[in-house]
Structure 1
Amino acid sequence: MTLQLILTCPKGLESLLRDEAAALGLQESREHPAAVSGVADLEVGYRLCLWSRLANRVLLVLSRFPVDSPDALYAGVAAIDWHDHLDSRGTLAVEFSGQGAGIDNTHFGALKVKDAIVDSLRDENGGRPGIDKLNPDVRIHVRIDRGEAVVSLDLSGHSLHQRGYRLQQGAAPLKENLAAAVLIRAGWPAIAAQGGALTDPMCGVGTFLVEAALMAADIAPNLRRERWGFSGWLGHVPAVWSRLLFEAQARAAAGLAKEPLWIRGYEADPRLIQPARNNIERAGLAEWVRVYQGELATFEPRTDRNQKGLVICNPPYGERLGDEASLLYLYQHLGERLRQACLGWQAAVFTGAPELGKRMGLRSHKQYAMWNGALPCKLLLFRVEVEQFVTGRKPGAERPVAARETDLAGEAAVIPAPGLAPETARLSEGGQMFANRLAKNLKQLGKWAARERIECYRLYDADMPEYALAVDLYAGWVHVQEYAPPRSIEPAKAQARLLDALAAIPPTLGVSPDRVVLKRRERQSGTRQYERQGSEGRFMEVREGAVKLLVNLTDYLDTGLFLDHRPMRLRLAREADGKRFLNLFCYTATASVHAAKGGARSTTSVDLSRTYLDWARRNLALNGLSERHQLVQSDVMEWLAQEQGIYDLIFMDPPTFSNSKRMEGVFDVQRDHVRLLDLAMARLAPGGTLYFSNNFRKFTLEPRLAERYEVEEISGQTLDEDFRRNGKIHRAWRIQASKR
């Protein structure tokens, strides 16, 4: 009996699935978005369930009919003889997709279908089918498309990508059928047939490894599944199924009896090693597949017997703050290892960031567009041959001695490119221009920083408009902030420039790539500027003058230390001896620490953010300061309006805007600075000094303030060498009570 079948699959796999289904017996096949249709008998339907490595589901079409209303849908479904498929006291589940004909809600559509089936099967004693969404006797799919309803019975049951061996998975698992598709596109079946090897240097929980071994050993991917969509179907023919199952078991036994191919995985995260081994064991492939803990930098495939094969991997896509930097260096490391250790092999990189594939130092000879769920991806295929190297330099060739450059401490040194192959150290023309500017700035500022004993300073601040970045050095670490590019710049071009810059930083500055942190600077609203953006919890101690401070380069948009205010903090330290110091909008209270170390009688630090006040408390404790140093969580304007204390030295550096949930209304520094200063000056002791600064580039100080107070702009005095080229980074004033 000829049946109509529909096979669903991930988007982008249609042509592969059509070829596979045709080889398994499907006739008159046609491709559709995320599906393939055709005709076959029930035996082929069973074989597709058992052997398809690519399909999600195998659907048996029961009926097609036009639909112009919900009642028409009900009638069309009720017209099917459901007694041929389900017992009146059995269980069913309904899945509905599409819309039209007055059915705009999938839940409503599924309800109409369920009612039609149940009403058709209700027996004279009132018995009726039940609903079981997990393991029903039959699972019915209904799709409405362009006025036609297609009603199908799911022969597969649960999605066929669920092979049953992967009970443990990593943070971003690749579905088994997508992994199989990547292997097929990469040519693994032919490589395996010739006795080739396979290795995955970032294997996670081993999905590529297991799928590759299943193919090589001729094991049906769903051989271990115990329950199927046809198990409780009245049309099921057990004899046909049993024969196909026996044949598949015999083929698997014969395949496993062969000498195993060399299939190995390596994973840096020790937490994933045992889950990967458990998955391999459940798949029955412990003799074929091995997994080891190992970093990408030390990865080497099999070298004995000069065996070649396929290197395959699915690198992380990057979802956290600053992932571009770590991902770039990861891809550079991957390209390095391929060129140095895998000559003569083939390589396949499945990636959600294909632009990074260009940074591997290898030319891809084929690319395939695929989808990982809703994420567009590409499969990049490489032949690891010298002719495909971007630089053409042979692996192992002697590297020319690097030019003498300046290291972060300002001393001359011969700098290698840590962790980077010689080929990747060669930059694009734009990247080289950026590197030249970095080197020039480092030569000038490095000596100044070493002389002044400054550990943290700004090296580069959008000096070249094409590379709109700020590059700051923090005691051997590099903190990169990308300014949001103007809308006139194409996103792809901006991304390429960013990657050029990131590629230039390690070899130019002589730092390891894992000490480069990237963030994007955009205007923040509400409390986002205070919110934690990462979870590494990496606080680092740095020195500034006589104090120690904690910075965090990874978890927050800001690091905890505004570098441009260094001269102001040191001025406050010099002037604080014996004074009562007030720090408004205190951030992490770095100015308070300096004032306290400078001999302040007491310090009071006010901020609205609990996050920053906790940080401030740690900064004070790091310097042995606790008594006489008060931290206040409050809106500054409200606190000043109620405060009765008097202070000899006041510092305030308010934000440009703030609309925190804890505030009444919105703070605008241009609009509100007169009232803010009046409130603060009311708390200033006779002969005291208030320092006011902000970084709003269009800020204008209200002229009438000079009529009430002694006002002196000192912006130029508060800029060190690293910020003099950007004179608008902030403006600052010294304000005292008028002597008139």
Structure 2
Amino acid sequence: MSNDDSMSNQFELFLTCPKGLDGLLLDEAQALGLSEARAHVSAVRGQGTLETAYRLCLWSRLANRVLLVVSRFPVQDAQGLYEGVSAIEWAEHLEPSGTLAVEFSGRGAGIDNTHFGALKVKDAIVDTLRTSSGLRPSVDKVNPDLRVHVHVDRNEATVSLDLSGHSLHQRGYRLQQGAAPLKENLAAAILIRAGWPQLAAEGGALADPMCGVGTFLIEAGLMAADVAPNLKREQWGFSNWLGHVPAIWNRLIDEAEARAVEGLSKPPLWVRGYEADPRLIQPARNNIARAGLSEWIKVYQGEVATFEPRPDKNQTGLVICNPPYGERLGDEASLLYLYQNLGERLRMSCLNWRAGVFTGAPELGKRMGIRSHKQYAFWNGALPCKLLMFDIDPRQFVTGQRSAHTRDEAQVAAEPAKLSEGGQMFANRLQKNLKQLGKWARKSGVECYRLYDADMPEYAVAVDLYRDWVHVQEYAPPRSIDPEKAQARLLDALAAIPQALNVDPSHVAVKRRERQTGKKQYERQAVQGQFMEVEEGGAKLLVNLTDYLDTGLFLDHRPLRLRIQQEAAGKRFLNLFCYTGAATVHAAVGGARNTLSVDLSRTYLDWARRNLALNGFSDKHRLEQGNVMEWLEADRGEYDLIFIDPPTFSNSKRMEGVFDVQRDHVELIDMAMAHLAKGGVLYFSNNFRKFELDPGLVARYSTEEITAQTLDPDFARNPKIHRAWKITARVKGAAA
């Protein structure tokens, strides 16, 4: 084959690609000059010159390999394969002293072993090129001078030269990768499906809120700057091929380099990535630098919960991301929260943008609160995935989404383990309670309630139902109880719970309950990120059954929260020691004019912010971090409805380092009452079992103990769970 021939000759070219990309690859290959092109499963076939083949190698963002077909012939058996390969003019392709690698695929003609097929092909090539002096090609599987691919299908063999060498998805910029990286050509395909090339041409922005090591960002940057994806590759499958024509290749390289210089000299588009894991920030920046895109792409550390793209010129564009599939963040509940949180951020911070979410769990996409107008099927390796496309437009927003878990059929069918005698007694008590309380809960629309509270002294646990989850708190056993015996009873109880309540064992969260002091009450018990959404009186609230000592929702305060909701219309509401802001959400749902919530913990305030956002509240609802006593002293506001539910003990710089509810409640209530508007109401409660309201407060204010009215049937067995008062200004002239 002369150089002149190679410049004008048409070759059959065969491009391979990941599963599901063949339609996109067909469009791309035709745009790059492939004629008579048609798609096959994970491949595209067509005609082109050597220049076309080189251009495909250099510019294809989607292909894995570019194969140049040198022969097709019928094959009946292994000997026929040997003879057909031997008939090819191998001297035009490889020196006798060169190196060779053979890849064989397919089956038929009695050749069902790919290793055997490859061996026959290798023998045929080597025997053809063997010189009289005994010189012959050797095998090099890593970097051969010639990589030959043979495919047998239905008694036909196709022999091709692999011009790409290593797979084209290996661009060379990603030396460092995270836990579950997308291949570069899959990332490029997702961006193309999401419409990024057109958005980039229009000057749009791009943001990835979970960017990992930056693959989406880099592929997007290469497209936007018109940089050939494989411009920096040094070793090709054709580098030492005898048919290689450097003049054609060098011209294409010069043209690509000129386009890259021109593209990169344009004002950079706004391309930003955010990643929660601090360990991935530097690897991402290193990858971006290797791709030559440091001026175009910036990466910052940031949680999805705070994601808010703010381009310089307020232009809109594309949000693209690949949330974890479950291996990295735990189970479905944490992923559900992640998707809900992502949906919240898109709704709140990305109006008029387009969003593409690439996911292996498309059902979670329905929990984002936005309708997906288009879904594209993809494969990530062997995992079926979807690209969910969203227009961030209020007309596409969906409210009132609720999660539903379904049990695994295999687990339902599994035979339950036999319980111990004590375990069976415990199970019987749970079922009895469920029958009684379940009827009340269904009638009252209550999703979360206490089912069991140390009803049997041997089983000193509290069991709470949160929809289809069970939260178990073990009370620390008295010192008189043998720790091993206590542990055995706990295990008996845990064995009984899934059977008695017919719940998936993975939906049982367990905590040991001990008195918390100092900062320990704010510390995480575990880090699973396992949030779920529950509903109470029309308010949606996030609970976390695993990460903290408390779940984010004090179940015993349900009636008090509902009372606040009923009384909040048009009022200014103040929530002190606000925790996760559940009472604030109820006040907002009830129509409060505005709300202000104060807590010392940034963790809980962030949780309160999410709870408000979950219900569509953002403005008119302030959250402030601070020591409540100091805050009250500095605040000048006036409120119509105040709720105070202080901890028994809490860190405070003000009172000898510790807030003590019995000692300090007088000053606390006096200070709060000074902010109460005329005709206003203050609700005060706490869970210190020995608490006594100071007589001086009773003398100064109109106080009514409402404890009995603030306990639902699920806490009737434990009336000391809390005490509550309604406090108002005493009417002038009224008797003390």
Q: TM-score range by the shorter chain?
A: 0.5 to 0.7
The one-letter code matched in structure 1 to 2:534 is: A
Q: Does 1:133 align with 2:141?
A: yes
One-letter code aligned to 2:130:
R
Q: In the superposition, relative to structure 1, how do residues 322 and 483 fare at CA in structure 2: closer, same or farther (>3 Å)?
A: farther
Per-residue CA deviation, residues 417-443 of structure 1 (Å, 9 max, x unaligned), is xxxxxx55x568999x99965974754
| Cα distance change on mapping 1:168 and 1:429 into 2, 3 Å | closer
Taking the TM superposition and a 5 Å limit, the aligned residue runs for 1:373-522 are: 373-391=381-399, 424=401, 440=446, 442-445=448-451, 448=453, 456-460=461-465, 469=468, 471-474=470-473, 502-504=532-534, 511-512=543-544, 515=547
* Aligned counterpart in structure 1 of residue 247 of structure 2, from 234, 239, 246: 239
1:100 corresponds to which residue?
A: 108
CA gap 1:456/1:212 in 2 versus in 1, 3 angstroms? farther
* AA matched with 1:264: R
CA contact (8 A) 1:456 1:472 kept: no
Change in Cα spacing, 1:184 to 1:103, as seen in structure 2 (3 Å) is same
Query: What RMSD over aligned residues (CA atoms) do the two structures have, in Å?
Result: 3.5
Structure 1 residue 304 displacement after superposition: 4.3
CA–CA distance in structure 2, aligned partners of residues 434 and 198 of structure 1: 51
Q: Is the 8 A contact 2:450 2:465 kept in 1?
A: no
Distance 1:54 1:80, change over 3 A: same
CA change 1:284–1:13 in 2 (3 A) is same
> Given the alignment of the two structures, is residue 372 of structure 1 paired with residue 404 of structure 2, yes or no?
no
Question: Do the aligned partners of residues 501 and 289 (structure 1) sit closer, same or farther apart at CA in structure 2, a change above 3 Å counting?
Answer: closer
Q: Which residue of 2 is the match for residue 193 of structure 1?
A: 201
Q: Deviations over 1:43-100 (max 9, x none)?
A: 0000000000000000000111112211111111111110010000100111111112
Distance 1:145 1:435 in 2: 68
Q: Which amino acid aligns with 2:339?
A: Y
Relative to 1, partners in 2 of residues 1:331 and 1:485: Cα closer, same or farther, differing over 3 Å? farther
Native 8 Å contact 1:69 1:103 kept in 2: yes
Match for 2:185 among 161, 169, 177?
A: 177
Contact 1:88/1:129 (8 A) holds in 2: yes
In structure 1, what residue type is equivalent to 2:291?
A: A
Instruction: Give the letter for the 2:200 counterpart.
Output: A
Task: Tell me the distance in 2 between the aligned counterparts of 1:339 and 1:382.
Answer: 11
Q: Which moved more, 1:337-346 or 1:452-461?
A: 452-461
| Counterpart amino acid of residue 102 in structure 2 | V
Aligned to 2:306: 298
Return the match for 2:226 from 218, 221, 224.
218
CA distance in 1, matches of 2:171, 2:338: 31
SS of structure 1 residue aligned to 2:313: helix
Query: For 1:137-157, what per-residue CA distance to the aligned partner results, in whole angstroms no more than 9, with x for missing partners?
Result: 010111111221111000111
Residue 685 of structure 2: aligned partner: none
Cα distance change on mapping 1:253 and 1:30 into 2, 3 Å: same
1:120 alignment partner in structure 2: 128
Matched, 1:346 2:345: no
**Residue type at the aligned position of 1:347:** A
Counterpart-to-counterpart distance in 2, 1:142 and 1:484: 61
> Could you say which residue in structure 2 is the equivalent of 1:622?
none
State the Cα distance separating 1:294 from its structure 2 match: 0.6
Structure-2 change in CA distance of 1:137 and 1:322 (3 Å): same
Q: Deviations over 1:413-468 (max 9, x none)?
A: xxxxxxxxxx55x568999x99965974754547x46999998433349xxxxx8x
What residue identity is the alignment partner of 2:17? C
Structure 2 residue 55 is the aligned partner of structure 1 residue 56: no
- Deviation, 1:198, is 0.2
CA 1:510–1:284: 2 relative to 1, 3 Å: closer
2:250 maps to amino acid: S
> How far apart, in 2, do the equivalents of 1:350 and 1:482 lie?
34
Aligned AA for 1:156?
S
Deviation at 1:116, TM superposition (A): 0.7
Q: Please say if residues 274 and 299 of structure 2, whose CA atoms lie closer than 8 Å, have aligned partners that are also in contact.
A: yes
Does structure 2 conserve the Cα–Cα contact (< 8 Å) formed by 1:435 and 1:501?
no
**1:524-573 CA deviation, whole Å, 9 max, x = no partner?**
xxxxxxxxxxxxxxxxxxxxxxxxxxxxxxxxxxxxxxxxxxxxxxxxxx
| Alignment equivalent of 1:204, drawn from 209, 212, 217 | 212
* CA apart distance, 1:290: 0.5
Which among 17, 24, 33 is matched to residue 32 of structure 2? 24
Deviations 1:669-721 (Å, cap 9, x if unpaired)?
xxxxxxxxxxxxxxxxxxxxxxxxxxxxxxxxxxxxxxxxxxxxxxxxxxxx9
The offset of 1:357, in angstroms, is: 0.7
Structure 1 residues 248-397: aligned runs within 5 Å: 248-319=256-327, 323-391=331-399
For residues 59-74 of structure 1, the aligned pairs below 5 Å read 59-74=67-82
Counterpart secondary structure, 2:218: helix
Q: CA deviation at 1:369?
A: 0.4
Contact residue 202 and residue 265 of structure 1 kept, 8 A = yes
Cα distance in 2 for partners of 1:128, 1:78 equals 14
CA distance, structure 2, for counterparts of residue 287 and residue 475 of structure 1? 55
Task: Indicate conservation of the 8 Å contact 2:336/2:531, yes or no.
Answer: no
Paired with 1:223 and 1:244, the residues of 2 have a C-alpha distance of: 10
SS at match of 2:151: strand
Structure 1 residue 515: Cα displacement: 3.6
SS of residue in 1 equivalent to 2:534: helix
SS of the residue corresponding to residue 68 of structure 2 reads strand
Conserved? CA contact 1:54–1:161, under 8 Å: yes
- Identical columns (%): 66
Corresponding letter in the other structure for 2:394: V
Deviation string for 1:454-505 (max 9, x for gaps)? 98433349xxxxx8x55123479xx99988999xxxxxxxxxxxxx995438
The question of whether the paired residues in 1 share the 8 Å contact of 2:187 and 2:216 is answered with: yes
2:440 and 2:11 map into 1 onto residues whose CA distance is 65
* Per-residue Cα deviation, 1:260-280 (whole angstroms, up to 9, x for no partner): 000000000111111000000
CA–CA separation in structure 2 for the residues paired with 1:41 and 1:435: 78
Give the C-alpha shift of residue 217 in structure 1: 0.2
Aligned residue in 2 for 1:227: 235
Name the aligned partner's letter for residue 159 of structure 1. S
Q: Is the CA contact (8 Å cut-off) linking 1:59 and 1:152 kept in structure 2?
A: yes
Counterpart for residue 166 of structure 2: 158
Name structure 2 gaps, 5 residues minimum.
Answer: 1-8, 408-437, 476-493, 503-529, 550-713, 718-736
Alpha-carbon shift at residue 110 of structure 1 (Å): 0.8
Provide the C-alpha distance between the structure 1 equivalents of 2:352 and 2:111, rounded to a whole number of angstroms: 57
Aligned residue for 2:23? 15
Structure-2 separation of matches of 1:428 and 1:372? 26
Q: Distance in 1 between matches of 2:333 and 2:548?
A: 7
The aligned residue for residue 704 of structure 2 is none
Contact kept? 1:28, 1:38, Cα under 8 Å? yes
Q: Is the 8 A contact 2:151 2:157 kept in 1?
A: yes
The residue matched to 1:358 in structure 2 has which SS? helix
Amino acid at match of 2:305: A
Give the letter aligned to residue 104 of structure 2: F
Deviation at residue 104 of structure 1 after TM alignment: 1.3
State TM-score, norm by structure 2.
0.59
Provide the TM-score with structure 1 as the length reference.
0.59
Bigger drift between 304-313 and 17-26 goes to 304-313
